[in-house]
Amino acid sequence: MALPIVFAFLFISFTLAQSTTTFNVRSYGAVADGRTDNQKAFVRAWTDACSLNGASIVYVPRGVYMLGPVVFTGPCKGPIMFLMSGVLKAPSGPTDATTWINFRSVNKMLMKGGGTLDGQGSSAWPYNKCDQNSNCKQLPISLKLDSVSNSRFESFRSVNSKQTHISMFGCENVNITNVEIYAPADSPNTDGIKMGSSTGIRITNSKISTGDDCVAILSGSSGIDVSNVVCGPGHGISIGSIGKYPGEKNVDGVSVRNCTLRGTDNGVRIKSWESPNAAVVSNVLYQDIFMDKVQNPIIIDQTYCPYASCNQQMASHTQIKDVTYRNIWGSSSSEVAVDMECSKKFQCKNLVMTDINLASHKPGVSLKSSCSNVIGRVFGRQNPRPCF
C-alpha cells in the first residue's frame, strides 16, 4: 500500500531522514467526494505511518474529504509528516466529540501542504450555549494538539471552526507559521490559537480573523513568541483569563512583536478573575504593535467577574509583573486607549511603557488612560498621557 519514495528534502530539519515512505489516504480507501466519512482510512494511514521505523508521510491529496472526529496517536517510531493538500470537512451540526482532529503524544511532526480544515461551524454555533457560571456546551475544537513536541505546523488554513481553531495542551517546542484562520466576527468561542501548560510555542507570519481571541495564552504557558501576526476581527491577543480555577500555573515569558490588530475589541490584554486562585504572570513584552481602530488597545483587567460564581468582594490573586510595552501606535475606537485595572491586593509591578502613540480614529477626540494599583515607569513619547 505504501509508496516508498525518496523525499528527503521535505525533512530538511528532520535529521537522519534519508528516505521517507508515503502513506496516501486514498490507498486506504479515502474518497474525496465531500460526503463519505473517511475516519477509518485516515486513522489506518496514520497508524501505519506512525509505526514505520523511519520517516513517513501521511498524504492527503487534493479533494474534499468528509472526516468524522479522529485521534492520531503517537509516539511514532520516526519523524512524521502530515502532508495535507486537500480540504478536510467536519461533519455538520453539534457533535458529542470535544475535538475534531486530535494529535496526541507526537514528537517531530510536520504538518503542511496548503490544505484546509473546514469545521463547518455555522451548523453548530446556534448550539453554543453557556450557563450563568460560564460553563458552555463544548463544541469540538478543530485542531487539538496534546503533548506534541518538536514539531511544526505550517501553510494551511482553518475556517469556521465550531469552537477554537487550534488548541495546544502540554506541548513543547511547536512552531506554527503561515497559517490562515478565518471565522466570522460574531461566531461564538472561536478562539484562533489557544495554549495552556505549554512551553516554547512560536506563532509567526499568520493571519487570524475570528469571533473570539486571536491568540489566547493560558495557565502554565512559558516561552511564548508571537510575531508577524495580523489579527482581526476578534478579541485580540490575550493572556488569560487567569485565576478562574484553583491550581492554575504561572505564565512566564511571553513576547508579542511586530503584530497588527485590526478592528479588534482588544489589542494586547491581560485578564484575571477576582478570585482567591493565585498565579503569577511575568516577563511579558509587547513590541512594535500597530493598532487599527481597536476598542481597547492596551488593557489589563484584573476585575473580571462576569458570573455569580466569583466573589466580587475578593481581589484577584494573580500577580502581574515585569511587563513592557514598547512602540505601540495606531488608532483607538474608544476614548480610554490605555486601561489598567490591577488587583488591589496584588498591584501590577514594574510595568514599563516606552513610546506609546495612539490617536482616536475620530478626528478631534483626545484619548485617555485609566489605571489603578499600578507601579511602573514611562519613557519616550506617551499618547495618551500616562496614568502612572
**How far apart are CB 252 and ligand NAG at their closest, in Å?**
19
Among 2, 230, 305, 352, the residue binding ligand NAG under the rule CB under 6 A is: 230
Q: Which listed residue (89, 112, 144, 152) binds ligand NAG by CB under 6 A?
A: 152
Residue 135 CB burial class (10 angstroms; 0-12, 13-18, ≥19): exposed
Task: Examine residue 241 and say whether the peptide bond preceding it is cis (omega within 30 degrees of 0).
Answer: yes
Applying CB under 6 A, the span of 15-23, 126-134, 150-158, 361-369 interacting with ligand NAG comes to 150-158
Q: Which sequence positions are flagged as catalytic?
A: 235
- Our CB check for ligand NAG shows the closer of 172 and 248 to be 172
**Locate cell 474529504: which residue?**
65
Query: Which x/- pattern over 190-229 shows residues binding ligand NAG (rule: CB under 6 A)?
Result: ------------x-------------------------x-
CA–CA distance, 61 with 40 (Å, rounded to integer): 16
Burial label, 44 (beta-carbon count in 10 A; 0-12, 13-18, 19+):
middle
| Of 201 and 242, CB closest to ligand NAG | 201
Task: Note whether 16 binds ligand NAG by CB under 6 A.
Answer: no
Q: Which is nearer to ligand NAG, 221 or 316 (CB)?
A: 221
Q: What is the torsion angle, in degrees rounded to the nearest 10, for the CA atoms of residue 158, residue 164, residue 169 and residue 175?
A: 30
Neighbours of 191 (CB within 10 A): 27
Number of C-beta neighbours around residue 132 at 10 A: 9
Tell whether residue 173 is a contact of ligand NAG (CB under 6 A): yes
Do strands 20-24 and 3-5 pair parallel, antiparallel, or not at all (unpaired)? antiparallel
* Residue 85 within binding range of ligand NAG, rule CB under 6 A: no
Residue nearer to ligand NAG on the CB measure, 45 or 289? 289
Phi first, then psi, for residue 26 (nearest 5°) are: -65, -35
Q: Find the shortest distance in angstroms from Cβ 306 to ligand NAG.
A: 33
Of 175, 309, 327, 383, the one binding ligand NAG (CB under 6 A) is 175
**Which residues are near ligand NAG by CB under 6 A?**
13, 150-152, 173, 175, 202, 228, 230, 258, 260
